[in-house]
Amino acid sequence: MAGYDYDLFVIGGGSGGVRAARISAGHGARVAVAEEYRYGGTCVIRGCIPKKLLVYASHFQDDFEDAAAFGWSVGESRFDWSRLIAAKDKEIDRLNGVYERLLTGPGCTLYHDRAVLEDRHTIRVGDARVTAAKILIATGGRPTLPDLPGIEHAITSNEAFHLEALPERVVVVGGGYIAVEFAGIFHGLGAKVTELYRGEQILRGFDDDIRHGLHDEMLKRGIDLRLGCNVVSIARGPDGLRLTLTDDTALETDCVMYATGRRPNTRGLGLEAAGVALDESGAVIVDDYSRTTAENIFAIGDVTDRIQLTPVALMEGHCFADSEFGGRPRKPDHRDVASAVFSQPPIATVGLTESEARAEYGDVDIYKSSFRPLKHTLTGRDELSRMKLIVEPRSGRVIGAHMLGADGPEIIQAVAVAIKCGATKAQFDQTVGIHPTAAEEFVTMRTKWQAPQAEAAE
């Protein structure tokens, strides 16, 4: 594309931007990428990867306890937060280098500075000014904090990865997946954890059976989970932080972490000057092919506020590159996207929840299973796994699968393939299970769930 410094300029070096850049370069485009922090984005630097490493660490307390039930004698154990964080940081540094090599390998030019649009084709990067035929916005999102007295004493998930020491007492505010994951992490590592959520139940938007099930399991583990409760103010005192709550009680803690929402990173990018429209939340408005209201400018990932998942950003970036530089127009498919919550126990899901399915199809067939995992028949832990299939009765197609329990994310990943292919309940039933596994429950549930009959009025 003659007349421009680059065919494509990508603003944001996270998963989606890197995928779009390297695939576009592979198609022969001249590509540059600007990232003002570190290449890898939220997922690699301060999201999915470091969080999963902390989740692994938090499981060992249970593992040490359970070992005795299987004949092992485990000696005295001690957890060192600083060693964990140092190991985590080393791995993140390695991945940061991997992401940069993913870009330089196919010939992308890297800028380690902030990029701002001056018009539809001109980008100011630090002290430099460059032009591009097409521009891709892939700047992701950031955690938000509410406006209340003393909020400067609170942290978000960003800071949680860099705490100098593990707090003895932690309050997590929020009821989404980040909140329940960090509640499990802090608790598993030995902190006394309270989670506050203003709503009626955690994990709004997930299937009701699964979210209620996780609520029960968190209480069993000893997490103080308070629903319908929020923070009014935060104050620092001689013994830590003092939270005043909406139920007129107070709570003492050493750390308060907010996980109450994220906002697209669009501020100060010059999008308005380039004619890029934003919605009321600040997210970039795009069409089915990720094109913004400016014809040559596109956006993918969390900055568009479609589905905030790393694999979705990767899909959108790949579709963009193939469409614009590969001669193969295709739009991302956002239906039946599988996801997981690395709570304890974890949740995994694909397709519609029961309420969504009833709203879309009317009557649906429901299959449920709840059981104690085989492992805990020896450990004696009072933990239940829960599985659920939702079936459209006219076609017999499975339109939703949900699981709460160990290995759920690994299991649902395979189930997602079947649902994406339109598999029917009959085909699930014809599949021979692997015994003894939890996964076999998805192919052995035969009895439709019937709602309990309401008792007749006296």
Q: Identify whether the C-beta of residue 428 lies closer than 8 Å to the C-beta of residue 439.
A: no
| 299 confidence band (pLDDT: 50, 70, 90) | very high
367 within domain boundaries: yes
Instruction: Single out the residue of 63, 4, 62 nearest to residue 30, CA to CA.
Output: 4
340 within domain boundaries: no
40 within domain boundaries: yes
Whether 180 and 319 share a structural domain: no
Radius of gyration of the CA atoms of the chain, in A: 24
| pLDDT greater than 60 at residue 226 | yes
| 451 confidence band (pLDDT: 50, 70, 90) | confident
User: What total number of domains does the chain contain?
Assistant: 3
Q: Which residues of 405-417 are buried (b: 16+ CB within 10 A; e: fewer)?
A: bbbbbebbeebbe
Whether 113 and 135 share a structural domain: yes
The tokens describing 370, both together, are 């709840």
41 within domain boundaries: yes
Q: 268 burial class (0-12, 13-18, 19+ CB within 10 angstroms)?
A: exposed
The owner of tokens 């370069």 is: 25
| 409 confidence band (pLDDT: 50, 70, 90) | very high
Whether 71 and 157 share a structural domain: no
Instruction: Single out the residue of 36, 212, 270 nearest to residue 140, CA to CA.
Output: 36
448 within domain boundaries: no
DSSP string computed for 141-171 = EEE-----TTGGG-B-HHHHTT-SS--SEEE
DSSP 318: H
| pLDDT greater than 50 at residue 79 | yes
Whether 428 and 303 share a structural domain: no
Averaged pLDDT, 256-267: 97
Phi-psi region of 403 (alpha: psi -120 to 50; beta: other; left: phi over 0): beta
> What is the residue range of 163's domain?
151-260
Reply yes or no on whether 435 is catalytic: yes
Whether 288 and 319 share a structural domain: yes
pLDDT score, position 452: 76
Q: Identify whether the C-beta of residue 144 lies closer than 8 Å to the C-beta of residue 260.
A: yes
> How does the average pLDDT of the chain come out, rounded?
96
Q: Of 260, 280, 297, at which residue does a domain stop?
A: 260
Q: Of 229, 260, 291, at which residue does a domain stop?
A: 260
107 within domain boundaries: yes
Whether 233 and 196 share a structural domain: yes
Q: What is the percent of the chain where pLDDT is above 70? A: 98
333 within domain boundaries: no
Whether 271 and 229 share a structural domain: no
Q: Which residues of 318-350 are buried (b: 16+ CB within 10 A; e: fewer)?
A: bbbbbbbbbeeeeebeeebbbbbbbbbbbbbbb
Q: Of 211, 229, 260, at which residue does a domain stop?
A: 260
pLDDT tens digit sequence for 112-140: 999 999 999 999 999 999 999 999 999 99
| pLDDT greater than 90 at residue 193 | yes
- How many CA atoms within 13 Å lie on the side-chain side of 394? 3
| 458 confidence band (pLDDT: 50, 70, 90) | very low
Which residues, other chains included, contact 134 with Cβ-Cβ below 8 Å and sequence gap of 6+?
A: 1, 7, 8, 9, 296, 297, 298, 324
pLDDT tens digit sequence for 328-376: 999 999 999 999 999 999 999 999 999 999 999 999 999 999 999 999 9
Which residues, other chains included, contact 117 with Cβ-Cβ below 8 Å and sequence gap of 6+?
A: 11, 123, 124, 135, 269, 270, 271, 273, 274, 276, 297
- Whole-prediction pTM value? 0.96
Whether 82 and 176 share a structural domain: no
Whether 10 and 138 share a structural domain: yes
Averaged pLDDT, 231-239: 95
Measured distance CA(313)–CA(19) in Å, rounded:
9
pLDDT score, position 2: 73
Q: What is the percent of the chain where pLDDT is above 90? A: 97
Averaged pLDDT, 236-256: 96
User: Of the residues 162, 187, 212, 435, which is catalytic?
Assistant: 435
Q: 254 burial class (0-12, 13-18, 19+ CB within 10 angstroms)?
A: middle
pLDDT tens digit sequence for 156-168: 999 999 999 999 9
CATH number at residue 98: 3.50.50.60
The tokens describing 260, both together, are 């109450």
Whether 159 and 131 share a structural domain: no
Whether 252 and 267 share a structural domain: no
Whether 316 and 358 share a structural domain: no
CATH number at residue 365: 3.30.390.30
DSSP string computed for 107-126 = T-EEE-S-EEESSSSEEEET
455 within domain boundaries: no
The owner of tokens 């059976």 is: 209
Quickly list H helices, 240-390: 310-325, 354-361, 376-379
- Residue 5's φ and ψ, nearest 5 degrees, are -65, -35
| 453 confidence band (pLDDT: 50, 70, 90) | low
CA-CA-CA-CA torsion sign (264, 268, 272, 275)? negative
